[in-house]
Structure 1
């Protein structure tokens, strides 16, 4: 289990790097005289490469040893950090972020593969709980550390923090020595088409472009036709013939669509309704994420002892409670909101552990790398889609009404209605998921 703790440390640094730069966007925009759409590429470029890299490294893990992939990826992460740190032009900032993401994406891919390859199924829930805790802690620490650094130093120092990931390389090389690799030919064209499809999808949503949406559909069709004919395709269509894996993954991504939405929405709400500073908002969000990180380990143990279905029921109840409370008390004390986030973040962490563990048990050894990599990619994409749609709603919709009559002004209505939709969405998804799990368990397709 030592390798799991090293992996969790790498996950903290990787996830921090994805959240820190949200705080620095105003400073970057001012330094380079950019528009809002231009500066958004600091975040968008990272998400696109991060999502694609998750499935790419999952595929490469079937051919190359994990310790070598992690060494190359973390070194590339460090190179991107150096490029960003010395950036004198905006293109260097983007180049640094792309290199960072191309390297850092090896970590979430490994966070799915290592527990499966190196941990027995009876202890896998605990291992996934530890890595999920690293993700939660990194999400919490990113904005706080970024706020402190940008308050006292130049935003370029955010790049320097990522160099800490280099300390994990010797440990990965020491403990990852049991890999069984297979001689595979990497389908470069398939990877390029997948990358282009994902990029067009996120661009279409970000820019609300009908033309880009049509291009995405066309390229997706071409990609599907290609992998059906290729001898060793980047994504083997056979994995989708595993109907249990496909259905479980789709439902899991629908459940995790709020993985990025809640961390995005809460700061917007605290800023516009409670007029809090970025640093204060980070301090309010930190306890919930920290406690959720601690309870992530507990969630893993619950999954091992009581089963994934039991853990997911707890996750559903905690998240549903959170969204209902936030919908009813949107404009009340932000101290109360801080307490509610403890419940919500814990529920989200439990869901991440239970869903990843459930998906992993639908795959055999030959499909684990690409299957879990694809799961991570779709999880990031679903979260990015949810966040983008949420941003469009906040920019363009101001609700004149609310189901709750407690409000004294209308600004809180939009946030209240969004949280109500969250609650309804989660109820529908989890009810459907539990019904499917019951049938799958009865047929012996998924281990409890």
Structure 2
């Protein structure tokens, strides 16, 4: 049984290295949007290249995050975590020195692979290392510090872009990794489940990622109307069908389809898709809108969105307690509607927008909406399956959210009528941004309707520390991707 105490020197080192590791991935997912206009300018990149700069990372991360958790279970969580940290740092270095958009996109895809290895491992190491009496507090501290990193990310990214340059948004990961990896090797005990597992579902992971990649390519390049786009779309759908077939018939699938027999689990994942598609599209376009149209600096744009994360950090615990008392149905219905109102308020953000009068009200309403829905959403996911599958359910929910954001970043510019050079024209971008916000608000209304129609009361006390101290705006909290065959020990999950 794990016996490291939080107050011990080893416990503090474990907490530090897991916070550093998860902060690398979390910072990277929040700061890059702020840097996009400067990246486009310096590399002479069109809008499609900027979409791929975001999506290449999300593609490999979403497609491989479940496999990353399984690798940690089999070969050792510390070992896979350290490999992920080093991999992420090397890919970040390649991003930072990329001479053109093509190299940057390829490096971002490699970054996502590193993220898929280290992200599930950071929380799993805490769960596998700390004494049961200290585990909840350790997870809460990990989540809280990670949330602070998420809050600081856009501000730090904006400062780097306006100061030493956008390349330092990526290069910053290198010194973090140089601190994180040696601490992990020296102070974190190895853990894993070794021989308790069957084979790895590499085919399923490849088919899932391939389907996402082909569909994303077709959406981003759809305006060309070429045969290649049509073939890509068809092949993407075919790969998706093959993925479902493999997962249904494989003895040890990455994503066992039987888990969707829970109507509650299926319904909440549909809500997740709607909510995080809207959020992914919003945060991709809002950073561009503030800089291209409203004339904000990168630092100003990053700081402008900061209240959303701060509200989540300050109020998530109260939201989770409220949902415990009244059930998840009302929060999951009202939260998306509040987020939709926040996005509609962004229609007021145009040329020379006042932060206090135009931007801040939208950001605050959006933040209150996220506070209302994120903790209950994750608690509902975890409570809708048996305890032994909680890690798997959380991993699927997290991957679904990231895939939704990926598709939204690819599809929204197409739906809103943004041309390849739209972000170079304030008037053209402003018009398309307004249409995009309507699409985002519509997706949130659909999510609210699904929640109202399908979500039912949960057993009491479903709160999780990682839900209640959560600060990421890109994905729901990750419970710790543990193999489905492993039943948690007493005090876990």
Equivalent residue for 1:76?
87
Q: Distance in 2 between matches of 1:80 and 1:354?
A: 35
Question: Once the 2 structures are TM-superposed, how far is the Cα of residue 312 of structure 1 from its aligned partner?
Answer: 3.7
Equivalent residue for 2:335?
315
With over 3 angstroms needed to count, the CA separation of the structure-2 counterparts of 1:291 and 1:126, relative to structure 1, is farther
8 Å contact kept, 1:303–1:311: yes
Equivalent residue for 1:251?
271
Higher mean displacement: 262-271 or 176-185: 176-185
Q: Secondary structure at the match of 1:63?
A: helix
Q: Does 1:282 align with 2:302?
A: yes
Q: Does 1:150 align with 2:161?
A: yes
With over 3 angstroms needed to count, the CA separation of the structure-2 counterparts of 1:234 and 1:294, relative to structure 1, is same
Equivalent residue for 2:355?
334
Q: Distance in 2 between matches of 1:258 and 1:377?
A: 15
The one of 219, 235, 238 aligned to 1:205: 219
Provide, for residues 288-327 of structure 1, a one-character-per-residue CA deviation record: whole Å limited to 9, x for no partner: 4334333335444555666545654663464244245445
What is the total number of aligned residue pairs between the two structures?
Answer: 432
Computed over aligned residues only, the root mean square deviation of the Cα atoms, in angstroms, reads: 4.1
Higher mean displacement: 111-120 or 17-26: 111-120
Q: Distance in 2 between matches of 1:253 and 1:129?
A: 28
What is the TM-score normalised by the length of structure 2? 0.72
Equivalent residue for 1:131?
143
Q: Secondary structure at the match of 1:234?
A: coil
Q: Aligned ranges for residues 32-431 of structure 1 at < 5 Å? A: 36-38=47-49, 40-87=51-98, 93-110=104-121, 131=143, 134=146, 137-138=149-150, 140-163=151-174, 164-169=176-181, 180=193, 182-208=196-222, 209-271=229-291, 273-303=293-323, 308-309=328-329, 311-312=331-332, 315-316=335-336, 318-327=338-347, 333-336=354-357, 337-396=359-418, 415=433, 418-431=436-449
Question: Once the 2 structures are TM-superposed, how far is the Cα of residue 34 of structure 1 from its aligned partner?
Answer: 5.2
Q: Distance in 2 between matches of 1:126 and 1:300?
A: 18
Q: Secondary structure at the match of 1:235?
A: coil
Higher mean displacement: 38-47 or 370-379: 38-47
8 Å contact kept, 2:18–2:123: no
8 Å contact kept, 2:74–2:192: no
What is the TM-score normalised by the length of structure 1? 0.78
Equivalent residue for 1:17?
28
Provide, for residues 335-369 of structure 1, a one-character-per-residue CA deviation record: whole Å limited to 9, x for no partner: 22224312312422442322122112223355344
Q: Distance in 1 between matches of 2:42 and 2:292?
A: 25
Q: Secondary structure at the match of 1:48?
A: helix
Equivalent residue for 1:401?
none
Provide, for residues 111-166 of structure 1, a one-character-per-residue CA deviation record: whole Å limited to 9, x for no partner: 7767988899xx9799589738835852x544433333233325433322112145
Question: Once the 2 structures are TM-superposed, how far is the Cα of residue 5 of structure 1 from its aligned partner?
Answer: 7.9
Question: Once the 2 structures are TM-superposed, how far is the Cα of residue 171 of structure 1 from its aligned partner?
Answer: 6.7
8 Å contact kept, 2:158–2:300: no
Q: Distance in 2 between matches of 1:114 and 1:304?
A: 28
Q: Distance in 1 between matches of 2:329 and 2:17?
A: 28
Q: 5+ residue gaps in structure 2?
A: 1-5, 7-11, 223-228, 420-426, 464-493
With over 3 angstroms needed to count, the CA separation of the structure-2 counterparts of 1:307 and 1:89, relative to structure 1, is same
Higher mean displacement: 236-245 or 254-263: 236-245
8 Å contact kept, 2:294–2:349: no
Q: Distance in 2 between matches of 1:127 and 1:395?
A: 44
With over 3 angstroms needed to count, the CA separation of the structure-2 counterparts of 1:268 and 1:220, relative to structure 1, is same
8 Å contact kept, 1:54–1:109: yes
Q: Secondary structure at the match of 2:74?
A: coil
8 Å contact kept, 1:126–1:298: no
With over 3 angstroms needed to count, the CA separation of the structure-2 counterparts of 1:261 and 1:396, relative to structure 1, is closer
Q: Distance in 2 between matches of 1:130 and 1:12?
A: 10
With over 3 angstroms needed to count, the CA separation of the structure-2 counterparts of 1:372 and 1:422, relative to structure 1, is same
Q: Distance in 2 between matches of 1:291 and 1:432?
A: 25
With over 3 angstroms needed to count, the CA separation of the structure-2 counterparts of 1:350 and 1:279, relative to structure 1, is same
Higher mean displacement: 151-160 or 206-215: 151-160
8 Å contact kept, 2:324–2:461: no
Question: Once the 2 structures are TM-superposed, how far is the Cα of residue 175 of structure 1 from its aligned partner?
Answer: 6.3
Question: Once the 2 structures are TM-superposed, how far is the Cα of residue 433 of structure 1 from its aligned partner?
Answer: 0.9
Higher mean displacement: 310-319 or 62-71: 310-319
Question: Once the 2 structures are TM-superposed, how far is the Cα of residue 186 of structure 1 from its aligned partner?
Answer: 0.9
